[in-house]
Amino acid sequence: MSRTICRLLLVLFFAAATMTTAIAEKRVALVIGNDNYAHVVKLQKAVNDAKAMAGTLRALGFGVTEASNVARRDLNFAVQTFVNQIEPGDIALLFFAGHGVEIAGENFLLPTDIPDATPGQEGFVKGESISLNNILIALKAKKARLNVVILDACRNNPFSTAAGRSLGATRGLARVAAPQGTFVMYSADAGEQALDRLNDGDRNPNSVFTRTLIPLLQQPGLDLVDMARRARRTVRELALSVSHQQTPAYYDAVLGDFYFAGKGRPDSIPVTSPSPDPIARDFELARAIGTQSAWQAFLAVHGDKTDSFHVQLAKAALKKLALGVFPGEDEPTPTRAHTPGETFKDCDQCPEMVVLPAGSYIMGAPESEKRHYTDNYNEGPQHKVTIQKPFAVGKFEITVGQFEMFVKETGYKTGNKCWVYNRKKRFWEEREGRSFRNPGFRQSAAQPVVCVNLDDAKAYVKWLSGKTGQHYRLLSEAEWEYAARAGTTTRYHFGNDERALCDYANGADRDSPIGPKNKSCTDGSGNKTTVVGSYKGNQFGLYDMLGNVDELLEDCWNDNYNGAPSDGSARTSGDCNRRASRGGSWFNGPAHLRSASRGSSDDLNDNTGFRVARTLTP
């Protein structure tokens, strides 16, 4: 064996060895299960989940503090005591099963003595619960080697409803930006409900998520990401077996690998015959290990051979790992046939897509339909549109975090000026220093990107297409209305009663200083964007089709549908300095949130964003 090969093998050995978790490390865990809520809906399996998790973690070498049915004071004390025992270099894990709620983009864990509350009492609830963000900040400050937070808390909102809307998001928790060195996992994605059981005959003592996760924790050779992926896949399949949507989510900001049950021999490492080509042989070894250190070691030896196909592949693999895209997640699958109703992602950080069926519908609205601009009818004439093939639509609007990834990877410049609504003077003004990063109100990574124009949106879909090898694009206006209606013919996809809008859309509600507004209910948005998926979806499983942000489309603006195509394609003639936009936003009242309502955009605004579509092949 040549010195070069020996040197590579030695580097790879130490790279892998330094990233393997030693079971002898100090591991500490706090495990909490809350069932017996005094004033809100009780749960049945949270305590069982905590007991099962505590036993599993003890067997894996964790020193476990276990608590069940804890009130606020005891919960605060347990968290503080847990944080205090963490030392630099430790492995720290927090597991919470119970009620959690998202309020204005922030997540809170609820103690058993949390009072019932109604809209308008958000501040009170925050004070009586435990902030997830505060826990993450406290854990980061202790400088542990690794912090893991697992929450089986994505149940339905436990608070009473009032005026058609409950306090906080209807279900689930908001997406979270994990601090460096932290791995956060939810039992369900944003806006989804986690199942305790599959059906009335399901006698398993644990929730669907926890019963799936525990065996994976005990399996040698699974690191955090492998474990999370397998849990997502299994839970999703179990939930779909009872026609329910539940996909566990994880947020990874960990450098290196961690194995709960030891590294062992990962199932994914193939046994291959030695290759006569040293570069090919070393490439296969690096690919089998699959870590950043392994690829860096390969390039340290062979990186000067820039014409080598293996070197080019290694550089691409290293770039994907640096972006948080893991092997196999962003490989194009041109021969795979997606089926209507299916959800999928082409890479871990790619937008989640929903497959819509082919079909026909009547586009537009009759002149009799209630609207705000009675003298500016542009929603007709009604006409039949036929979508010939299934296509995929983003489940949510593109978020700040997704757009930020594109900007960081490409160096794309978006400008530093945006039209914003002056809430004091009550008019629109173009402001310097405003952009998608600072639109004039606080935005989390999980809220829809705003202050973007058509060029920005098209640059994003071009980048996404290149990243995945798939054809991403903007929706046409006809596709958008087909997706928004989801088979309905009413003003809104849920019916005609605008009093129910606050369950389905972030618009100008009763508390809004903006008019015209919906005077019949309150949506809790605070007159700005909210985390995507905070409101109920439509029959296709798409969220925020009405409200939150106005969505840019491919079509040039036309004042009516005369001459509009009937095949769902975009209109490429008309006023192409303006582009059609649909859905309305947090700024708009009920008239502009109708499925047929039309708008246009020719600049950057703090209420305008976009959603993507994907052409399916074959």
pLDDT tens per residue, range 211-267:
999 999 999 988 898 899 999 888 888 887 777 888 898 988 887 889 998 876 444
Q: Could you tell me if 609 and 550 are in contact, meaning their C-beta atoms sit under 8 angstroms apart?
A: yes
Cα torsion 566, 571, 572, 573 to 10°: value is 100
The mean pLDDT of 106-110, rounded to a whole number, is 90
- Dist CA 130 CA 82 (whole Å): 14
**Weakest-pLDDT range from 124-128, 224-228, 326-330, 554-558:** 326-330
The predicted pLDDT at position 414 comes to: 87
pTM over 0.95: no
> What domains, with CATH codes, occur in the chain?
3-17+264-322 (no CATH), 21-252 (3.40.50.1460), 359-615 (3.90.1580.10)
| Residue 525 clears pLDDT 80, i.e. is over it | no
pLDDT at position 171, please? 55
Using 50, 70 and 90 to split pLDDT, how confident is the model at 386?
very high
pLDDT(439) > 60: yes
- Per-residue confidence (pLDDT) for residue 121, from 0 to 100: 79
**Average pLDDT across the chain, whole number:** 83
Q: What's the pLDDT at 16? A: 42
Amino acid 290 reads: G
Question: Taking 70 as the threshold, does the pLDDT of residue 284 lie above it?
Answer: no
CB 611 within 8 A of CB 399: no
Q: How confident is the model at residue 309 (pLDDT cuts 50, 70, 90)?
A: low
Hey, what amino acid is at 337? Answer: A
**155 pLDDT above the threshold of 70:** no
In this prediction, residue 523 has a pLDDT band, given cuts at 50, 70 and 90, of confident
Q: How confident is the model at residue 141 (pLDDT cuts 50, 70, 90)?
A: very high
What CA–CA distance (Å, rounded) separates 526 from 514? 11
Specify the pLDDT at position 508: 87
Contacts 24+ apart (CB under 8 A), 324-333: 324/252, 324/348, 324/349, 325/349, 326/225, 326/229, 327/290, 330/467, 330/468, 331/469, 332/468, 332/469, 332/470
Query: pLDDT, tens digit, for every residue of 195-225?
Result: 888 877 778 899 999 999 999 999 998 889 8
Q: pLDDT tens digits, residue range 564-592?
A: 999 999 999 999 989 999 999 988 889 89
pLDDT tens, 324-342? 444 443 333 333 568 888 9
Question: Lowest-confidence range among 23-27, 191-195, 558-562?
Answer: 23-27
Residue-level pLDDT at 264: 65
pLDDT band at 5 (very low <50, low <70, confident <90, very high): very low
Question: Which pLDDT belongs to residue 1?
Answer: 41
Sheet holding 182-186, edge to edge: 62-68, 27-33, 91-97, 146-152, 182-186, 249-252
Average pLDDT over residues 438-445: 88
pLDDT bin (cut points 50, 70, 90) of residue 371 is low
| Per-residue pLDDT at 206 | 92
Cα–Cα distance between 282 and 313 in angstroms, integer?
13
